[in-house]
Amino acid sequence: MKTQLSSKPGDQIVLAHGGGGQLTDELLRDIILPRLDEPPLETMLDSAILSPTGNDRLALTIDSYVVSPWKFPGGDIGRLAVCGSINDLAVVGARPVGLALSLVLTEGFEKSDLEHVMDSIEHAADEAGVNVVTGDTKVVGHDQGDGILITTSALGRISGSHTLNPDLVQPGDVLLINGPVGDHGLAVMMAREMPRMQTAVRSDVAPLNGLIEHLLDELGHAIVFMRDPTRSGLAGTLADLARSAALHIVIHESDIPVRPETRHAADLLGLDVLESANEGKFLMVVRPHAAGKALHLLHQHQLGQDAAIIGKVDDDESLAGVCELLTDIGGRRVLTKPYGEQLPRIC
């Protein structure tokens, strides 16, 4: 008779491993990346930059979407899947060429709901100016899935030699955000945890490539880095940037835009709005001489009307690799990536 060995505590995957925080980093570092020793993976950017084709370079990204519930105030899994991949291309300076779409449907999922999701995919792709050029559809048993899961992969083209990378960030550079943070994560969390409650919180999910292309055309090499703060939120993105650039970043809490209803929802759920996911926001680092123009250009666009300068990079070598938040009450808080995830399955 065979004895079945049980796994030790900590030997199994938990939901928090997918949260984009410290546990995700450990999973990548200890298990996944060592077995995929490829140069494009070393930078850990939102998209891989591939070899040049003529005067251009290609960018490739892929993401899976497991959000629950699949429909939430301000969007649904279809819109999220298109915008998420397009935004990952945009923040590395790539213009989308085509989108691949994979659907995993659970037996019993309503056809009318699938039509709703596909309509959202169509509309979001039209907004982003990209076509779905290939795809795949699978169906699993009613006890093997959770309604609908989507994977999208996007290919983009980077023209010229401009590179966006944390290595280019230097003391004096200025950090901007294109609008209020935390909306997406809190909208999903409220829909899941308090589905009967009426709330004004809505996801910010939107394709950012049009706005980012305009900024790159106008500001060029004055933009040195961009990142969309999705899982782990703005706090996680800033912590990653400080560590990757090996520089000290100072952020002013009073300058970070947050909608009152989003802050209220975060307080209600006992969550940190800075760790809540965004799907229509991007952090941008620019040279100091371009900060004013960057803010002006953002304010002229629908997706940047509430943009703000939120901080800068300084030359304090004793705090290199640290991002500090100067709080509203005059204190200092070191921003770190959350250990796991405040709530799972928000994207």
- What are the extents of the domains in the chain? 48-159, 166-334
Least confident of 16-25, 72-81, 97-106, 227-236: 16-25
Nearest to 93 by CA among 292, 207, 227: 227
Query: Quick one: pLDDT band at residue 48, thresholds 50, 70, 90?
Result: confident
Taking phi first (over 0 means left), then psi (-120 to 50 degrees means alpha), and beta for anything else, what does residue 282 get? Answer: beta
> Is a pLDDT exceeding 60 seen at residue 9?
no
> What's the chain's Rg over C-alpha atoms?
20
User: pLDDT for 280-335, tens place per residue?
Assistant: 999 999 999 999 999 999 999 999 999 999 999 999 999 999 999 999 999 999 99
Whether residue 343 is predicted with pLDDT greater than 90 in this model: the reply is: no
Query: What's the pTM?
Result: 0.87
CATH architecture of structural domain 166-334: Alpha-Beta Complex (3.90)
Predicted pLDDT at 340: 63
Reported confidence tier of residue 46, pLDDT bands at 50, 70, 90: low
The CA–CA distances, whole Å, from 181 to 235, 295, 310, 330 equal 10, 16, 12, 21
Question: Was domain 48-159 assigned CATH 3.40.50.10860?
Answer: no
Say what the pLDDT of residue 260 is.
97
Above 90 in pLDDT, residue 52?
Answer: no
Separation between Cα atoms, residue 323 and residue 183, nearest integer Å: 22
Element counts in the chain: helices (H) and strands (E): 8, 14
- What is the per-residue pLDDT across 141-190, written as a single tens digit (0 to 9) for each? 988 888 999 999 999 999 888 899 999 999 999 999 999 999 999 999 99
pLDDT (mean) for 57-76: 96
- pLDDT value of residue 38: 61
Mean pLDDT of the chain: 90
Nearest to 285 by CA among 251, 255, 312: 312
DSSP-derived secondary structure for 283-342 = EEEE-GGGHHHHHHHHHTSGGGTT-EEEEEEE--GGGTT-EEEE-TTS-EEE----SS-S
